[in-house]
Amino acid sequence: MTPAHYFAYGSNMNPARVVDRGIRFTQISAAVLVGYVLSFNKRSREQKGAGHANIVIQLDGCVEGVLYQLESANEIEKMDVFEHVPTNYSRDVVSVKTQADELPAWTYFANPKVVLSGLKPPCWYLAHLLRGRPYLSDRYHEMLESIECVP
């Protein structure tokens, strides 16, 4: 079965960005991915020395994000273009927890060849993550606000 949900943990937590990208969805909710942590270790294509969001396995970790219920299962293919699959990211199915359920959802993982430690997100990029505020816990949002960004 192909998932009809997309779990966004990076700049696509901003619903306006997803709409601008032409991705059609019918519902938005909060979700958590257990066993991972957020990292900004994916090298930016646009800004040298800057990093974009990625998720990294960490058994005691969790990543909060925005869960989009896609209008159709193949709607996710449109996002592949923006995530530069397969060059920058690959897409895979994960299991996310919502208030009501546990669901399979598509998400993106940075390819090892574009990963570099010690990067910081650009301020404009981090602002997109912060616009996911309605779907994040206060603690997680505060953690995002505390991340040092680069101009």
| Per-residue pLDDT reduced to its tens digit, 28-66 | 999 999 999 999 999 998 899 999 999 999 999 999 999
DSSP character at residue 13: G
> How confident is the model over 2-20, as a mean pLDDT?
96
DSSP assignment of 59-126 equals EEEEEEEEEEEESSGGGHHHHHHHTTTTTTEEEEEEEEE-SS-EEEEEEEEE-GGGB-TT-B-BHHHH
Report whether 95 contacts 102 (CB < 8 A): yes
> How confident is the model over 7-34, as a mean pLDDT?
98
In the chain, the percentage of residues whose pLDDT exceeds 70 is: 99
Give the integer Cα–Cα distance in Å for 111 and 88: 6
Which residues face 109 on adjacent strands?
A: 90
Domain boundaries of the chain, sorted by first residue:
5-138
Query: Tokens for 132?
Result: 């996911």
Give residue 2's pLDDT.
82
Report whether 138 contacts 145 (CB < 8 A): no
pLDDT tops 80 at residue 1: no
Report whether 63 contacts 136 (CB < 8 A): no
CATH topology of domain 5-138: Hypothetical upf0131 protein ytfp (3.10.490)
Helix (H, G, I), strand (E, B) or coil at 39: strand
Confidence (pTM): 0.96
pLDDT tops 90 at residue 77: yes
